[in-house]
Amino acid sequence: MFIQTLITEPIHFFRIIVIVILSITLHELAHGWAAMSQGDNTPQKTGHLTLNPVVHMGKESLIFLCLTGIAWGQMPVNPSKFRSAKLGNILVSAAGPLANLALGILFILLLKLFFNPNLTGLVSLEFLYLAAQINLSLFMFNLLPIPPLDGFHVFSEIFPQLKPLQYTQFGLFALMLLFIIPDFGIGLSSFADLVIQLATGM
């Protein structure tokens, strides 16, 4: 399990923990700010406009992250308050993945600006590369048209015939299938690697 990395590669373990917590927190905040911009003050009323990862992820998610390297977050929104139900749902849903894309681009730029192979420690060349890789992977993963992922909410507004899938076990089954296919995660990381290498010339 991922927790074994704490013993074999402790620096790598803490790098992943820090990056995933930061990435999910900003992902959920992006949903919240987008909802606020669409007229829904639920994120503010529930106290979710905060940088506190416990609020966004919960203790269960943080524990699961340390054990398995997998985590999740949640931002409470009320689509009925959106000024435009269709556009609002698309914008709010897309905001999270786009935040991860922005973070991925930011870390790629930092790689190009501060490339120094001699840097060591928690924040180093490896840290910046891993942060870019994780955020690009999160961007691609969350845009999959599978409930309850953000991509499903975006695509189901564009293709309403997908909406009934939200109330079935399809999403759970599809996600379980993806997680037990080792090549899926490797494929996401490999594509992220390709993007980073093309962008940085590394």
Catalytic residue among 9, 28, 60, 157: 28
What does the DSSP assignment read for 89-139? HHHHHHHHHHHHHHHHHHHHHHHHHS--TT--SSSSHHHHHHHHHHHHHHH
Residue partners of 77: CB distance under 8 A and separation at least 6: 31, 32, 35, 40, 42, 43, 92
Which tokens is 188 given?
């996401």
For this structure, is 28 an active site residue?
yes
Active-site residues: which are they?
28
